[in-house]
Structure 1
Amino acid sequence: MNVVSKDNLIKNVSVAWPLALNAILVQSMVLVDLMLIANLGEISVAALGLVSAILAFFVGTQYALANGTQLILARAVGGNDRHAMANGLVIGWLISAGFTLITSVLLLVGLDELLSWLVDDPLVSRQAYRYLQVSAFMLLVSSFAQVMIAFFNGSGQTRLPLYGYLIEIPMNVLISLVLIYGYFGFPELGLRGAAIGSLVAVSIRFGYLAWQLKRQRNLPIMASRKALNVAQVVTHFREIFPIATNFVTLASGVMLHQMLFAQLDVYSFAAITLVMPWMQMGAQFVTSWALATSINISQFRGRQQTHLISEFVEQAIRIILLLGVALCLVFVAFGELLPILYPKLDEQTQQALAAIAPIYILIPLVRTYNGLCGHSLRALGQSVKVLQIHFVTQWVIGIPYLILVLYCEGPLWAVFGSILLEECLKVFAFRKHLKRELTLLVSSDVERRTKR
């Protein structure tokens, strides 16, 4: 590995480690609620599993829109264009907030019918309804915060969002704990108390991010806001649309998976609900390396240093494979610690957890590789190809397989194994297309140098 490559990988680490901690803290918000309400019983756990799937779709779409904006901002940073950075930030706010307002209204209007269709148990449905009523307001605050996080990440200031989460999480724990169980004279709100705690904590993080944004020097936000026109918004939206569509495809697939899992008995569904946030946290932890890689690729493109990308990506792949193996070993230990983490679980829930253990242990190995390839292809301008791969493996193969297994009343491991099946199918396609893009990149660089 040459000195340039080492320097770039060190830079990747400096961007990735705050992103990794951010990912842990983001996912820990779900885990906070899960661990705090676990003692309320399987009904509350199942309700939280259902609403988490619905919220994951909306938050995931916000994240997708912000992720597309993040790549645009990273290119502007690479070109040292402050006006382009301000434009990207303001347009990102407009798009994200507009999406959230429309979807939140639709969610609240059709919430009762949606929950009635998704779950038969009226107790689960009632608790989920109360949680989602509060969470609609949390989504609006989050829409602005996500774009600010994209700005800080795209400009390499990944520690600032990290500090925001370090403020948010303790507040979430304290407020949720008080409101769930009614400590210090407050009413005992149960699962709804967890939703209120999350809303207050997210609002506090938003305030911190807004303060940090105000401290940014030479960022003409007001001038960009006044100078915006429809053409700029359309151009921005066209670039992020394939990325957003890709994330929406994945998020809606994950939501549908969780809804289909809800058709299982309450013990099996509770087991999956207990495991999924930990799986997602592990995936997000390693995805931070992939995100940092995509940010640096975008900055290479902004600085016209595309000749450095190929070797940089190959080195990043080797590292993420090692991280994937390490994560598999972490989940082996996690399986042994489950009785300690959740000591009051029903015996049938414990049996279901044991049945799906081999699957959630193996998933990180392939998911981490796919994540890096997908993010790298997006940064190289191949978002449509990534979308096609995800759509075919998830919607054409994975979800029909899951529906078939559920219809045939297959074993729990076969139902949960639909996630692993999808990830395995993506490996070959991602590797093939990424290798081709890197080869074309090297060829174009050689051709350009020859002409010079």
Structure 2
Amino acid sequence: MEKNQTIKIESKSLYKTLARVALPIALQSLIASSLNLVDSLMVGSLGETELAAVGLSSQLFFVHWGVLFGFASGSSAFMAQFWGKQDIGSIRKVTGFAVTLCFGISLFFFIPGMFFPDHVLRIFTDIPEAIFLGKGYVRIASICFLFVSITVPFTAALRTTQQTSVPLKISMLVFSTNTTLNYIFIFGKFGAPELGVHGAALATAISRSLELILILYVVFGRKNLIAGRLSEFFGWYRPLAAKILVTAIPVMINETMWSLGMATYNAAYGRMGVTEFAAIQASNTINTMFILAIFSLGDALLILVGQRIGMGEMDYAFALAKRLLRIGICVGAVSGALLIFSSQFIIRLFNFTPEGLHYALLIIAIYGTFMPLKVFNGLNIVGTMRCGGDTKCAMYIEVGSVWLIGVPMVFLGALYLQLPIYFVVLMAQTEEVVKGLICIQRFRSKKWLNNLVHDI
């Protein structure tokens, strides 16, 4: 095998592959986050209390998404490496196993969301108006838990088999539908009742059901290459299931604890006041437009490097990961600057008080400044470590930095020192600095490079 320093990666070929794999994922994320921005603007036009209510209500869905994304991401490492071996049958088994686990997990979110929404909201806030407006949102949208438990694993399978344009096209239709329905149901257009916050939940539920129908139609109705008999999806054998669990459960714990950490941040912000939380909600919505699109590089890294690991080309996989990390840092720096610049115009579309506007602009400036570091950390956690099965280390780094550094800093600043919201957000970035130092050392050690499928 060639030594790593002699590995040459042809730039033109790499950029063409990135355009084919990463660009559709980036566009899908950008469409989703852009339309989420439009949704937030619609709800935000009703007032800061309504915007805060939807933001707080979304925390349960955010945690659920983190759990599902975690297990699907861990499973994707196997899918990518099986794709390197061109073993479609095993990809189907991994997909079926992921659907089964994700559906079972989703039931644990669906039941409290449907039957005890007010108790759920009290975890995140003590603002009575937000709880009153938000509980109907949670109840109506809770059916989405069951829908996405099926769509997320199938989307992962389509992406890892480098069919990234398929989820993109579905997302374009689904999120456009969601925005249209939001406009109709929130404001009562075209003869529909004016439902306000509840209208946003109804639009989301309908759109997620459409997404499920389209995914199943594309895979099974149009005989996609990952389509097969049900027995192929649910006929897993014990060694495969055990190995998936060993690798994917740390990822699921990672994403669950990270999502809970972010929700805990918001629980602290939600106790600082309606204006402060509305500023956080708007800032996060705008920041997400950039960060999710950039993190498509993480998905591309997992797919492309994982494929090389599955082919047994370890030196090439390391060199490719190194190049992709460098690209990610550069893209993060440019995007951070664009975020700060564009926020001067986008944030003014919200119905903010002068104080809320001031808070939001400062928060976004902090997000933009730290974006290159955040992207580097994300590409390591989501990309390099997961594609090589180094999921336990990734879990320790992510969970440790959030819960041992980030959460204490946020609660110290928000509830004990009672600092302005933007200072609290700045304190939270300490976790990214620590995480980055550890990620550099782990990447250089090459301990994340593991072939997961060579003996399956």
Question: Which segment is superposed worse, 21-30 or 187-196?
Answer: 21-30
Which residue in 2 is equivalent to 1:104? 110
CA distance in 1, matches of 2:449, 2:186: 55
Q: 1:166 aligns to what?
A: 172
Report the equivalent of 1:137. Answer: 143
Which residue is 1:447 aligned to? none
8 Å contact from structure 1 (residues 9, 316) kept in 2: no
1:19 alignment partner, one of 14, 25, 35: 25
CA separation in 1, counterparts of 2:326 and 2:339? 21
Residues 1:291 and 2:299 aligned together: yes
Alpha-carbon spacing, 1:404–1:17, altered in 2? closer, same or farther (3 Å): same
Correspondent of 1:243 among 240, 248, 251: 251
Cα separation, 2, equivalents of 1:109 and 1:187: 24
- What is the CA distance between 1:52 and its match in structure 2? 2.1
Aligned amino acid, residue 130 of structure 1: G
Preserved CA contact (<8 Å) 2:219 2:226 = no
Deviation at 1:118, TM superposition (A): 3.1
Q: Deviations over 1:115-166 (max 9, x none)?
A: 2343233221111101111121012111111111001001000000000011
One-letter amino acid of the counterpart of residue 118, structure 1: F
Q: Which residue of 2 aligns with 1:368?
A: 375
Per-residue CA deviations over 1:186-212 (Å, capped at 9, x if unaligned) read: 111101101111111121122111111
Unaligned runs of at least 5 residues, structure 1: 445-452
Superposed counterparts of 1:391-410, under 5 Å: 391-406=399-414, 407-410=416-419
Give the number of equivalent residue pairs. Answer: 441
Query: 2 CA distance for matches of 1:227 and 1:380?
Result: 25
Cα–Cα, structure 1 residues 278 and 226, in superposed 2: closer, same or farther, change >3 Å? closer
- Asked whether the equivalents of residues 134 and 199 of structure 1 are also in contact (C-alpha less than 8 Å), the reply is yes
Deviation at 1:421, TM superposition (A): 1.6
Map of 1:346 onto structure 2: 353
Task: With the length of structure 1 as denominator, give the TM-score of the two structures.
Answer: 0.92
Q: Deviation digits for residues 264-307 of structure 1, max 9, x if unmatched?
A: 12111111111112212311111111210111111111111222
Contact 1:9 1:312 in 2 (8 A): no
User: What does residue 330 of structure 1 align with?
Assistant: 338
Query: Is 1:67 the equivalent of 2:73?
Result: yes
Which residue of 2 is the match for residue 41 of structure 1? 47
Match of 1:95 among 90, 101, 119: 101
Alignment match of 2:161 (pick from 147, 155, 161): 155
Larger fraction in helix:
1
Q: Within 5 A, what are the aligned runs for 1:171-250?
A: 171-214=177-220, 215-217=223-225, 219-225=227-233, 227-228=235-236, 232-250=240-258
Structure 1 residues 27 and 384 mapped into 2: Cα distance closer, same or farther (>3 Å)? Answer: same
Distance in 2 (CA, whole Å) between partners of 1:139 and 1:417 is 33
Deviation, 1:20, is 0.6
Q: Which runs of 5+ in 2 are unaligned?
A: 1-6, 452-456
Deviation at 1:9, TM superposition (A): 4.6
Q: C-alpha displacement at 1:5, in angstroms?
A: 6.0
Aligned-partner SS, 2:429: helix
Deviation at 1:231, TM superposition (A): 5.6
Q: Percent identity?
A: 21
Instruction: Output one character per residue of 1:43-93: Cα deviation in whole Å (capped at 9) or x when no partner.
Output: 101101111222111112111121122221111111111210111111111
Task: Please say if residues 86 and 221 of structure 1, whose CA atoms lie closer than 8 Å, have aligned partners that are also in contact.
Answer: no
For 1:42, the aligned partner's letter is E
* The one of 280, 296, 301 aligned to 1:272: 280
| Separation in 1, partners of 2:110, 2:26 | 29
**Structure 1 stretches (4+) deviating beyond 4 angstroms?**
3-6, 229-232
Q: 1: CA distance between counterparts of 2:304 and 2:63?
A: 27
Q: Displacement of 1:218 after TM fit?
A: 7.0
Partner of 1:31: 37
Match of 1:2 among 3, 8, 17: 8
Distance in 2, matches of 1:46 and 1:274, equals 9
Q: Deviations over 1:240-269 (max 9, x none)?
A: 111111111211111111111101121111
Normalised by the length of structure 2, the TM-score is 0.91
**Quick one: which amino acid aligns to residue 35 of structure 1?**
L
Residue 87 of structure 2 aligns to which amino acid in structure 1?
D
Determine the C-alpha separation between the residues in 2 that align with 1:250 and 1:335.
Answer: 26
- Measured against aligned partners, the alpha-carbon deviations of 1:394-429 in whole angstroms (never above 9, x if no partner) come to 101111111111212122222111332211221110
> Deviation of residue 441 (structure 1)?
6.0
C-alpha distance in structure 1 between counterparts of 2:226 and 2:76, whole Å: 19
Aligned pairs (5 A) from 1:76-87: 76-87=82-93
CA contact (8 A) 1:290 1:371 kept: yes
**Bigger mean CA offset, 107-116 vs 346-355:** 107-116
> In 2, distance between residues paired with 1:3 and 1:37?
47
Is the 1:370–1:423 Cα contact (8 Å) retained in structure 2?
Answer: yes
Does 348-357 or 203-212 show the bigger shift?
348-357
